[in-house]
């Protein structure tokens, strides 16, 4: 285990004025509190807090953060209390330790609503002091480095959480080195075969072409010497996960993949960066479309650098990053650069982002989200997506996530402009609103008085701000209609379990579902954002589960072996009472099709995958979803009567989607949860008899079929 002297020696190297007494006391207290505790590997537990402190010391963090690292598990895992830590080390360190403890207790990969709630808590902790998250990220990094001592299922859970949450967050904070290492450590757990395959290809490539990195680095140094530029040049192969992601995104094999090597040139001045760029482009051919200038357009986390890709030796593509020493320090440590020390003084790096401003920019649009799912969506969009920079007609720079559209651009300027958008010009040319914007384009939004957001925009936009504004506008526009429709759906759903949808019952359900009030619940129910079953289950979980439970859903199909699971094919959506057949998928169980499903033709040459099946006799629960396609007249109250008719047949609407809106008719798809084929016929007959229904059919779409062949 690293000793206190070794830790202090590392800290003194960058901060000679470090409070040695504080660090020694924190080391001794942490060691005493964790006495007798051991990690899964058998090592003394205190080796972990010390390793976390060393990771932070390598980032040249301040004394309070290092002391927090040494103490970060004391309040949670030992007899130490908040008051004792505060008394010994001060309120600042006690609050940091308490903040890390609270983050540790958040289960960020739990259910969707719980995850959203916990993300709120995570961002609240970050907003109070970003050092809490720096300690937590370092804690996760050391745990991932030593993950092999954990149980296999625990390894997988921690790796997924790291890949989905902590690695993107480290990247968003500008700590790219940590993001890459976290991703690669998680990749090693989640897909070891793929990682090993890439490593083997690397070894083979090195044998074939020798040390490419050393050769190209030497070439670059020679060119810079010719140009009279003093700079540091370094190169490395990209990490296995980074290569794997490129292979997946581009759908290419390793042999066809380019730019698997990256090179970094660190200069003395900003002017030298552009001189280096000229020298590199003069010597090697630049790859079109692979140039980004983050010096003139820095990222929100303070990152500045010039990126270019060139064809190097033997035509191999290599990525080159060019930056100054100050830019490099920020690129290496991100937001943490704000706390960096050199020679005992806090370094004033002019490129380091103020953490208070950074966290405000990340969360400024999130506080308006009262809906948990929308908050979670907005957080992930803010965290995970790379950016493009576009210009307004006045020359203002608008930062957007990759894949953003003119509608996103309009909402980024102002909600009012987004809502009134009717068209857009990109670089002076009129384009469709679904056009994906690119770096450097100029965007001019065309608005019209009286225009309101369209429902189809939800699937076009990518920013959380735009999605939230559109949903809010649509909800307000249709709110009264949805409330009436939701009330009817709730009435039928509650009557199905022998209860009444009273105002008090609905208010209780709204509270359980963390919604503002019963009107909000009914509006979401009417707009198909909630299902009637979810509302009933919120206050009568036993009744909701017990309804029609004569046949166990997990045993609804006969003919499977004990170890086989099944699910209904989305292409034909078979229901009990129909003749069925199963198609086996290795590792995915059996997919159940109706015997007349057109998608079965694909498997005619594979008889060994067919399984003869039939439905269990008895009453099945109304959980078999069937999609009905209906055309109805565009008259007041028609949709409500349709939903009432379905409810009167003891069927539940689980989703409703308008696919075509004309002045006289609406065409929509309704997902109805049914018991069996007889139940389906009753619902369709009742709807067909309605005078305002022009046509009704059961949707069967072969394009929805699962066609991935079984392996082996």
Per residue in 23-38, pLDDT tens? Answer: 999 999 999 999 999 9
Q: Which of 31, 76, 223, 690 is labelled catalytic?
A: 76
Res. 257: pLDDT tops 70: no
Confidence of residue 465 (pLDDT cuts 50, 70, 90): confident
Q: Fold identical between 4-190 and 193-338? A: no
At the fourth CATH level, the homologous superfamily of domain 193-338 is Beta Polymerase, domain 2 (3.30.460.10)
In whole numbers, what is the pLDDT of the chain averaged over residues?
Answer: 82
Token couple for 551: 């046949």
Res. 457: pLDDT tops 80: yes
CB 348 within 8 A of CB 342: no
Is residue 219 annotated as a catalytic residue, yes or no?
no
Task: Give the model confidence (pLDDT) of 410-443 as tens digits.
Answer: 998 998 999 999 999 998 899 888 899 987 788 9
The predicted structure's pLDDT at residue 712: 33
The predicted structure's pLDDT at residue 711: 38
Confidence of residue 108 (pLDDT cuts 50, 70, 90): low
- Name, of 202-216, 332-346, 361-375, the range with top average pLDDT: 202-216
* Domain covering 552-712 in this structure, CATH number: 3.30.70.260
Token couple for 135: 């300690």
Is residue 76 annotated as a catalytic residue, yes or no?
yes
The predicted structure's pLDDT at residue 206: 67
Q: Which of 77, 84, 332, 495 is labelled catalytic?
A: 77
Confidence of residue 514 (pLDDT cuts 50, 70, 90): confident
CB 317 within 8 A of CB 257: no
| Alpha helix stretches (DSSP H) within 262-420 | 270-283, 325-333, 355-363, 372-384, 406-413, 415-419
Q: Which residues lie across from 266 on neighbouring strands?
A: 232, 323
Confidence of residue 251 (pLDDT cuts 50, 70, 90): low
DSSP 316: -
- The strand pair at 589-594 and 566-568 is best described as parallel
Rounded CA gap, 252 and 415, in Å?
A: 40
Res. 710: pLDDT tops 60: no
The predicted structure's pLDDT at residue 125: 63
Using DSSP, state whether 452 is helix, strand or coil: coil
Task: Give the model confidence (pLDDT) of 542-570 as tens digits.
Answer: 676 555 446 677 778 877 776 678 889 99
CB 180 within 8 A of CB 158: no
Res. 615: pLDDT tops 60: yes
The predicted structure's pLDDT at residue 195: 84
Task: Give the model confidence (pLDDT) of 55-68 as tens digits.
Answer: 999 888 889 999 99
The pLDDT of 398-407, averaged and rounded, is 85
Res. 360: pLDDT tops 70: no
Which of 124-128, 500-504, 649-653 is predicted with the least confidence, judged by mean pLDDT?
124-128
Q: Going along 248-305, which residue ranges are E strands?
A: 261-267, 285-286, 292-293
Q: Which residues lie across from 666 on neighbouring strands?
A: 632, 661
The predicted structure's pLDDT at residue 636: 81
Greater pLDDT, 130 or 700 = 700
Res. 387: pLDDT tops 90: no
The predicted structure's pLDDT at residue 259: 60
The predicted structure's pLDDT at residue 709: 44
The predicted structure's pLDDT at residue 369: 47
The predicted structure's pLDDT at residue 163: 84
The predicted structure's pLDDT at residue 174: 76
- The domain at 4-190 falls in which architecture? Orthogonal Bundle (1.10)
Domain ranges in the chain? 4-190, 193-338, 471-546, 552-712
Using alpha carbons, select from 54, 92, 103 the residue that is nearest to residue 46. 54
Greater pLDDT, 120 or 158 = 158
């Amino acid at each position: 285990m690293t000793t206190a002297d070794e830790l202090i020696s590392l800290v003194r190297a960058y901060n000679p004025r470090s409070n040695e007494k504080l660090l020694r006391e924190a080391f001794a207290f942490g060691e005493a509190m964790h006495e007798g505790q051991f990690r899964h590997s058998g090592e003394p537990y205190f080796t972990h807090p010390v390793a976390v402190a060393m990771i932070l010391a390598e980032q040249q963090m301040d004394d309070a953060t290092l002391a927090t690292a040494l103490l970060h598990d004391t309040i949670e895992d030992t007899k130490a209390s908040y008051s004792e830590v505060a008394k010994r080390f001060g309120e600042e360190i006690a609050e940091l330790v308490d903040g890390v403890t609270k983050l540790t207790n958040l289960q960020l990969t739990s259910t969707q609503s719980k995850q959203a709630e916990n993300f709120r808590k995570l961002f609240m902790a970050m907003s109070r002091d970003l050092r809490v998250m720096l300690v937590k990220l370092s804690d996760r990094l050391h745990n991932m480095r030593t993950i092999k001592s954990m149980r296999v299922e625990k390894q997988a859970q921690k790796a997924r959480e790291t890949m989905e949450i902590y690695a993107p967050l480290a990247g968003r904070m500008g700590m790219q080195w940590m993001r890459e290492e976290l991703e690669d450590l998680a990749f090693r757990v989640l897909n070891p075969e793929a990682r090993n395959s890439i490593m083997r290809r690397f070894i083979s490539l090195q044998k074939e072409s020798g040390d490419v990195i050393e050769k190209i680095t030497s070439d670059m140094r020679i060119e810079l010497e010719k140009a009279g530029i003093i700079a540091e040049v370094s190169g490395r192969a990209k990490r296995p996960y980074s290569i794997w992601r490129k292979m997946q995104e581009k759908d290419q094999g390793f042999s066809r993949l380019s730019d698997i090597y990256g090179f970094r040139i660190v200069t003395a001045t900003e002017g030298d960066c552009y001189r280096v760029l000229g020298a590199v482009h003069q010597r090697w051919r630049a790859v079109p479309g692979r140039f980004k200038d983050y010096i003139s357009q820095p990222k929100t986390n303070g990152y500045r650098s010039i990126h270019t890709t060139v064809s190097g030796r033997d035509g191999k593509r290599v990525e080159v990053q060019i930056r100054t020493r100050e830019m490099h320090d920020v690129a290496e440590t991100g937001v943490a650069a704000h706390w960096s020390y050199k020679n005992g003084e806090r370094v004033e790096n002019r490129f380091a982002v103020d953490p208070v401003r950074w966290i405000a920019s990340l969360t400024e649009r999130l506080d308006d989200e009262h809906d948990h799912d929308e908050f979670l969506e907005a957080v992930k969009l803010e965290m995970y997506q790379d950016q493009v920079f576009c210009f307004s007609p006045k020359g203002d720079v608008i930062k957007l996530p990759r894949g953003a559209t003119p509608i996103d651009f309009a909402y980024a300027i102002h909600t009012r402009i987004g809502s009134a958008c009717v068209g857009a010009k990109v670089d002076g040319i009129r384009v469709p609103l679904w056009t994906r914007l690119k770096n450097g384009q100029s965007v001019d939004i065309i608005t019209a008085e009286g225009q309101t957001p369209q429902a189809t925009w939800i699937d076009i936009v990518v920013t959380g701000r735009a999605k939230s504004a559109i949903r809010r506008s649509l909800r307000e526009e249709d709110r009264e209609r949805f409330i009436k429709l939701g009330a009817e759906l709730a009435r039928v759903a509650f009557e199905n379990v022998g209860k009444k949808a009273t105002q008090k019952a609905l208010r209780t359900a709204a509270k359980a579902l963390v919604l503002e009030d019963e009107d909000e619940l009914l509006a979401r129910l009417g707009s198909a954002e909630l299902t009637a079953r979810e509302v009933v289950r919120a206050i009568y979980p036993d009744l909701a589960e017990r309804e029609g439970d004569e046949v166990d859903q997990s045993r609804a199909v006969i003919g499977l072996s004990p170890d086989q699971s099944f699910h209904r094919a989305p292409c034909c959506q078979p229901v009990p009472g129909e003749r069925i057949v199963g198609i086996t998928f290795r590792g995915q169980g059996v997919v159940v099709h109706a015997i007349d499903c057109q998608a079965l033709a694909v498997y005619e040459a594979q008889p060994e995958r067919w399984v003869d099946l039939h439905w269990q006799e008895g009453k099945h629960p109304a959980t078999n979803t069937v999609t009905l396609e209906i055309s109805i007249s565009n008259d007041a109250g028609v949709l409500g009567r349709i939903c009432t008719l379905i409810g009167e047949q003891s069927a539940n609407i689980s989703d409703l989607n308008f696919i075509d809106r004309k002045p006289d008719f609406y065409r929509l798809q309704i997902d109805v949860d049914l018991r069996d084929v007889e139940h389906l016929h009753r619902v369709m007959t009742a709807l067909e008899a309605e005078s305002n229904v022009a046509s009704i059919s059961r949707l069967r779409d072969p394009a929805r079929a699962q066609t991935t062949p079984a392996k082996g």
